[in-house]
Amino acid sequence: MSVAIELNNKKTIRAWALFDWANSAYALVISTAIFPPFFEAMTNENVTIFGTTLRNTALFSFAVSISYLFMVFVNPVLAGIADSGGRRKFFLKLFTTLGGIACISMFFFDHSGYVWWGTLGFILATIGFQAGTVFYNAYLPEIVSEDQFDKVSAKGFAYGYIGSVILLIAILALIQFPHIFGMEASSLQARLGFVMVGIWWIGFGYYAMKRLPADVRKPKEKGAIVKGLDELKSVWKKISRSKHVLRFLCSFFFYISGLNTIVYLATIFAKKELNIGQSELIVTVLIIQLLGMVGAFFFAWISKIFNNKVAIGIMITIWMLLCCIGYFVESETMFYVLSATVGLVVGGTQAVSRSAYAKMVENNKEELNSFFSVFDVIRNLAVVAGTFVFGFVDQITSNMRYSILSVALFFALGLVFLLITKMEGAKA
């Protein structure tokens, strides 16, 4: 149980949002803008790893799957321990450190022979980001009242967009104008960008955590892991008894699978299929980020005017259309149009989903980590499913366009489950 604090305290809210500023550097630079096309450029089209030959794009997709699959098993245990032992901030700091150091280590991925090093660094950074997120999300119902969930959740994403954009612009300047910094154009600039992400993540993350509610340390007890797992079972039973919460999580599984698959693989698709250069991709991602901030607040407003279900339903429909159109895209101009539309819905989808779930579980303050851990387990499984299907289709067809089309099915299923879900008033 965390320290009792004043709800809706502006300083606490700013600290919480600032952590999004810190870790979103990974989400933008490593998972989306720089590393995916860098990985494709630094590896051969066919990569042999552990005796198996894979397309480099399929290998990247499977690396995402492995990261999230690991989290499926580890995160529930950690969250259960955090709830029973008052260790929320401890684990947030631990995984922030892991993720930041992993990003810094990717500096040494300087040629195709080190593909295993780059892949491992990416996997560890992804684990650090995702593991930390469950503890970060669990603070939301503790620091603000329900009427502020949508607004504050959107504020966190907005801080993340602004901070990560600032860092990405600095890295773009390094890549575009290396001579200003006394360097020749090479892979060095992108690799220095990975180091900058690690330092940014750890530095701002630690600063933000100083202002978040402190852990309430409890005496060490035997069987903490067992107790944590028992708590998760208890949480799952509560969720299972609420059919609408369960339906929402089913819907969330499918549409967040599609969203994260696109976020991780859109730039590598653009480079591989459309031959769009790295600098152009970075500019595109910057536009997506800026529009994402607008979209997060816009759909928070839609949720307030109507409700969360309407807002999420609109966004799922847009995502589904984007995948279908993406299958046929040939020109850079059309790719930019689709990317701009992605920007408008990506932040809103995540922010509204997080606040909608928080409303459903807010009456369970003693088990918030575990409730959000279940939420993250669903999300992690979704990403495993989405990226695995994407990579599998890419591997057997040697055509990423079919992979993009397959993602549309995830959004369609998400919409079906959403339509039969009653969200307002549903509680776990």
- Split the chain (428 residues) into runs of 10 and give each run's mean pLDDT: 67 92 92 90 85 88 93 76 70 94 95 87 94 82 80 84 90 92 91 96 94 73 63 79 88 95 88 84 83 83 88 95 92 89 88 84 67 82 93 92 93 95 67
| Predicted local confidence at residue 3, as pLDDT | 47
Q: Give the dihedral of Cα atoms 37, 200, 126, 11; nearest 10 deg.
A: -130
The three-point CA angle 141-142-145 to 5° equals: 60
| Predicted local confidence at residue 1, as pLDDT | 41
Half-sphere exposure of 194 (CA within 13 A, CB side): 26
Fold of 10-213+225-419: Growth Hormone; Chain: A; (1.20.1250)
* CA separation, residue 292 to residues 34, 255, 266 (Å): 18, 17, 15
Type of residue numbered 1 = M
| Predicted local confidence at residue 2, as pLDDT | 42
Question: For the chain, what are the domain ranges?
Answer: 10-213+225-419
The three-point CA angle 70-76-78 to 5° equals: 90
Beta bridge partners of 54: 47
| Predicted local confidence at residue 283, as pLDDT | 83
The whole-angstrom separation of Cα 252 and Cα 129 is 20
By CB atoms closer than 10 A (0-12, 13-18, 19+), residue 317 is: middle
Q: Express each pLDDT in 103-113 by its tens digit.
A: 999 999 988 77
| Predicted local confidence at residue 303, as pLDDT | 87
